[in-house]
Amino acid sequence: MGRTLRRALALSLGLLVAGCSKDPSTPSYWEDQLDAAQRPSEKVRVLETLRSSKRLDKRFAPMLNARLASEKSPEVRAVIARALGELKDPSSVDPLAAALDVNTADGATSRMNAAIAQALGDIKDPRAAPALMSLLRSRDDYVRQDAIGALGEIRAQAAVPTLAELALDDRSPPAVNRRAIVALGEIGDPRAIPTLLKAMFKQRGNTVFAQEASFSLFEVGKPAADALTQVLEGKDRDLAAWARSNDVAEAVVLVRTAESLGDFRATSAEPALIKQLAYKTAAPEQTLYARMAAASTLGKMRSAEGRKALEPMLEEPEPLARAEYARALVLIGGREALGALQRSASHGPWDARQYAIGALGMLGDERDMPTMERLAADEPKLTAADCKRYGCNLPVDEVAANRLKTVKTFEAPLRAAALCKAAMDCWAGKLGDAEGPVRQRAALELGRLGKPEAVAKLAEHLGDKEPETRAAVLQGLMWLVQGNSAAARQLLPMVPKLEQQVGADRGRQDYAATSEELRRLIVEVRRRGEQA
């Protein structure tokens, strides 16, 4: 019999004898097993068995806290830290902090420090802040990232100045910058706003942080909305100077700032956004993107003044821009823009006019059915003109037939509007309609009605497989939550399920945009629901 095998058998017999008279659900049973184990690898095996046994509960905290202090092996301490993180007992904060070894940089010690940082973040006790901040001096960037993440988890306001430096620090890896930006949002301290504004435009090689910085600003709340408004108004001289010194174009600043204001419904920004609709620079693409970003935010704000400014812009020949203006008018709602949309739907290339046709279907009712029929009748002639001017890959008749199907699709929401008018239950029933445009219109109509009773009905359809419909459901819910604290309270118990959906959608490119909007909805629900 080999020496290794004899030792393994001896250990197994020792563990059996040590535990034979004790209950495996008790801490003393596992403590005896740890006492019988001699090598660090054997102790790790015992601890991992405990973690997977489903017997771990807060009764084990005193024993594990003591073991953390007495064990010398960083591998063993790392597993104990992970177990304590699962228990989330505040009594473990001091033992975990004492077990840190910031001055040693070998791999095992770094992994131990990382495990301790993660455990402290899981426990979410503010007393852990000094210990976690000490880890920011680590030479291991992975340890620093875990410490930063934990500081965000415990909302350590004392760490804000240091994290603000790390967020823009060119000496640190981009992953450290990114984690610091996220942590600043989780902490939610307004002191981070100047840093987060710069982070929206920070670029290191091909790495940008705009999405994380924008979300963090949303987490900070109203002070961030006020700061973003000042940027649009040209009043933030510090950011303007920083942008110039970092070669950030003015249009880029306007685009990302307007986009970041999208879910705030900051009415104080309305004049600056309307002014941005007329923005013009030497680069045509930058001009259009700045205007489109302003239009999108005015739509989400349901700005009546924005509607008036957008109507004449429907003559824009660029399809993407006309699409954004039409989409904004759909979000704003009402029949006032129908005349401008009818004109827009009647001329220009198909790629531009199809969005105006869709908007007619999303805003009109039975009174607009003749207009839709006229558009359908005119489409073969317009298609022929398009094919002659721009060229078509298919025969003209086939192209016209395909376009007619699109026009007919948008007759369905007109019929739904004729039936439902302003009846909540009717629109709620349409959330399950076979036609995507009908479901989208139903979601927006329910959001505009402002009745908290619609929350549960909309929430049932957050998993709609069509991204456009899912986006409309999210928008309807955001309007309800922002307009009525009772709506936020109704959605608050559903937050765990919403977070599960965010996790399930991670990595799905088709749901990337809606997943980001869902995260913002969760923040808004917590903010308003917990304050109510």
pLDDT in tens, 118-132: 999 999 999 999 999
> What integer pLDDT is reported at residue 3 of this predicted model?
52
For the cut 70, the answer to whether the pLDDT of residue 514 exceeds it is yes
- Per the model's pLDDT, the better-predicted residue between 5 and 360 turns out to be 360
- CA 439/CA 430 separation, integer angstroms: 6
Residue 531 confidence class, pLDDT cut points 50, 70, 90: confident
Mean pLDDT of 401-423: 95
For the cut 50, the answer to whether the pLDDT of residue 76 exceeds it is yes
- CA 455/CA 51 separation, integer angstroms: 40
Taking the alpha carbons of 73, 79, 83, 88 in that order, is the dihedral positive or negative?
A: positive
pTM more than 0.85: yes
Mean pLDDT of 112-118: 98
> What integer pLDDT is reported at residue 21 of this predicted model?
44
Angle between helix 436-449 and 350-363 (nearest 10) = 50
What counts of helices (H) and strands (E) characterise the chain? 32, 2
Mean pLDDT of 60-76: 96
Q: Which residue has 């979601």 as its token pair?
A: 443
Q: Of 341, 355, 348, whose CA–CA distance to 410 is shortest?
A: 355
Q: Which residue has 């953390």 as its token pair?
A: 68
- CA 436/CA 438 separation, integer angstroms: 5
- CA 211/CA 532 separation, integer angstroms: 29
Which structure tokens are listed for 437?
Answer: 């445009």
Q: Of 74, 70, 78, 132, whose CA–CA distance to 105 is shortest?
A: 74
Residue 8 confidence class, pLDDT cut points 50, 70, 90: very low
Residue type, 532: A
Residue 508, exposed/middle/buried by CB under 10 A (0-12, 13-18, 19+)? exposed
Q: Per mean pLDDT, which range of 6-15, 136-145, 332-341, 436-445 is the poorest?
A: 6-15
Residue 500 confidence class, pLDDT cut points 50, 70, 90: very high
Q: Give the rounded percent of residues in the chain with a pLDDT score beyond 70.
A: 96
Mean pLDDT of 109-118: 97
Residue 105 confidence class, pLDDT cut points 50, 70, 90: confident
For the cut 80, the answer to whether the pLDDT of residue 13 exceeds it is no
CB neighbours of residue 267 within 10 Å: 11
Please list the helix, strand and coil fractions of the chain in percent, rounded to the nearest 5, in that order: 75, 0, 20
For the cut 90, the answer to whether the pLDDT of residue 379 exceeds it is yes
**Helix extents (H) in 333-433:** 338-345, 350-363, 369-390, 396-409, 411-420, 424-430
Q: Give the rounded percent of residues in the chain with a pLDDT score beyond 90.
A: 92
